Structure 1
């Protein structure tokens, strides 16, 4: 395979930091050269709360990927998550220039710049400006207007922004770990590109990346995103509920959640029992598995209600291809049901 480029991605999450090195061939195929995953320290709900700990986590993840691949990482694409990530759709309109009145790339760029000029909060920075579609003299549904005869060109763009200070702190951590940033990418859109087909995006679909601290949600229709959001809830909320409800440690609660947990109560037999170590007691205790799963089911029901509310605000009726679940939280038994 003739190498075209080597690309590196770093996903800095609440529970883990993942680094992936991929070799891209001239025909566009990618082969994984190396990866490194470590437990994340220094982040809460996707946002850096401790610089030194975050730098160490990133550096360790990068080092592991380098050892496996034999490739020295000097730059990477880096994910951005957290509830501070926001989105909006903005229109732009220009008169088609030139004596022939045919849409040129310059006309398209001018229309996008007009749409992009919408006011966003001063404490936010723009991560993405995604073109949703064009109108040519009022005709809707135009994907590529180049060369079309027209007097007026309209465009709608999807703008994704993030809190400036959160982005600056994340960038500091990545740079301090010895890596330059090629591009900052909203986690929701990165997840969508990884798991969605073009057909699903055209039909209308949502992807929910259920992480430890947050849920990254992206909604697509007509091939492009129209809503991007981050919900401040994730797998750690389930773990916390289990720890409180069963009076055990967070580590034991997480192990119970993954080994015995499900949010599908119909799948549980009435006589199933599990053993749990209790804080402050030498001996553990035995309890019904249903007791554990009722705690999990209650929190997951609330989680999906929040997701449904966010999707309804964005236009859930535009999603005939449904919703795709991904991320560590989606591995919990019964989540799809």
Structure 2
């Protein structure tokens, strides 16, 4: 990676996803150091977030994120950034994300087998949100649905803070399997026709439009398939995934209505690259939807502008926003920016 990107790497991180991911709200408090009416320092922030993140967990789970929502200093609440403000006691409302210890260890082992240490793991849905969502979307209320191959990861923001996360074991691979089983195709062939001819809106596909399927070994002639039939298979599975997400959020009293916690849906990930996915999402959630890809990327990297690269760029952006990380990369990265320097490596690898 260092050779391809021409960067010296100081820290290595990985995304993580799976049904073992859990999240919950929490609250913590701590005295502001220095006595009465002393200004809040970074040390005070770390202390209050440490207490807020100390939630009871099964021994097989580990906290990976403590995401602040709002702070309170004495009797003043609703504070977004308390640094420099004076008071006696600091409190924090946070969202805590935890993951399975063995899943983290497996990722760690992969890095160690390459002679490197893993510094941190980031929930995939959260990583993607850093590259895809705008500040306005986070403030107004947005549900990010990151549809990969093995999992669909959900991250909900409201008033600028994360209020819900979820990782579902249904995604693009399941859609490919549906096609393969329905038409008795090899999985690579099913994936190919899904990508090339797939759609989530069967009603928009003509009944006369045909797809020529590849010849398989025990047949002398190729077969045809109606493209509308392919769309019906894909639409059924995507509709199931969206309905599942909607029910889970409704169970948490997160509504998809104007003036409520979520007023928009943003879809990203490789499996969001399907015709009609926005229309189906709008039909299910009854709010505007868009397909999102990484934003504000420096350099001429058009080949990496698809939603399938959102988590990769989001992982970089996640750490780029941390001061200690930012200081280190400023010493080694040219004015082109970290994203441009990583282009060559990502292009060849993915």
**Smaller-chain TM-score bracket:** 0.7 to 0.9
Counterparts of 1:66-145 in structure 2, within 5 Å, are: 66=2, 68-71=4-7, 75-94=11-30, 98-102=34-38, 104-105=40-41, 106-145=43-82
Note the C-alpha offset of 1:115.
1.5
Deviates more, 1:316-325 or 1:294-303: 316-325
Tell me the C-alpha RMSD between the 2 structures. 2.3
Asked if 1:335 is matched to 2:294, the reply is no
Runs of 4+ in 1 over 6 A off after TM superposition: none
Counterparts of 1:1-80 in structure 2, within 5 Å, are: 65-66=1-2, 68-71=4-7, 75-80=11-16
> Which has the larger helix fraction?
2
Larger RCO of the pair (alpha carbons < 8 Å, separation 6+): 2
1:58-112 per-position Cα deviation (integer Å, ceiling 9, x unaligned): xxxxxxx455434575742211122211111101134556543345335444432
Contact 2:20 / 2:100 at 8 angstroms: preserved in 1? Answer: yes
SS in 2 for 1:181: coil
Aligned match of 2:264:
322
SS in 2 for 1:159: strand
Deviates more, 1:183-192 or 1:151-160: 151-160
Contact 1:248 / 1:277 at 8 angstroms: preserved in 2? Answer: no
Asked if 1:262 is matched to 2:209, the reply is no
User: Match for 2:246 among 292, 302, 308?
Assistant: 308
Q: Structure 1 residues 92 and 234, CA, compared in 2 at 3 Å: closer, same or farther?
A: same
Q: Structure 1 residues 99 and 75, CA, compared in 2 at 3 Å: closer, same or farther?
A: closer
Distance in 1 between residues matched to 2:189 and 2:23, nearest whole Å: 38
User: Match for 1:156 among 84, 93, 107?
Assistant: 93
Q: Structure 1 residues 269 and 180, CA, compared in 2 at 3 Å: closer, same or farther?
A: same
Counterparts of 1:216-235 in structure 2, within 5 Å, are: 216-235=153-172
Aligned match of 2:227:
289
Distance in 1 between residues matched to 2:195 and 2:165, nearest whole Å: 28
Contact 1:248 / 1:278 at 8 angstroms: preserved in 2? Answer: no
> Which has the larger strand fraction?
1
The gaps in structure 1 that reach 5 residues or longer are 1-64
Contact 2:36 / 2:87 at 8 angstroms: preserved in 1? Answer: no
Deviates more, 1:79-88 or 1:133-142: 133-142
Distance in 2 between residues matched to 1:142 and 1:308, nearest whole Å: 30
Kindly tell me the number of residue pairs found equivalent between the two proteins. Answer: 273
What TM-score do you get using the length of structure 1 for normalisation? Answer: 0.74
Aligned match of 2:296:
none
Note the C-alpha offset of 1:217.
1.1
Distance in 2 between residues matched to 1:102 and 1:73, nearest whole Å: 38
SS in 2 for 1:316: coil
1:117-169 per-position Cα deviation (integer Å, ceiling 9, x unaligned): 22112111111111111123444311123454545432111111110011001
Deviates more, 1:191-200 or 1:92-101: 92-101
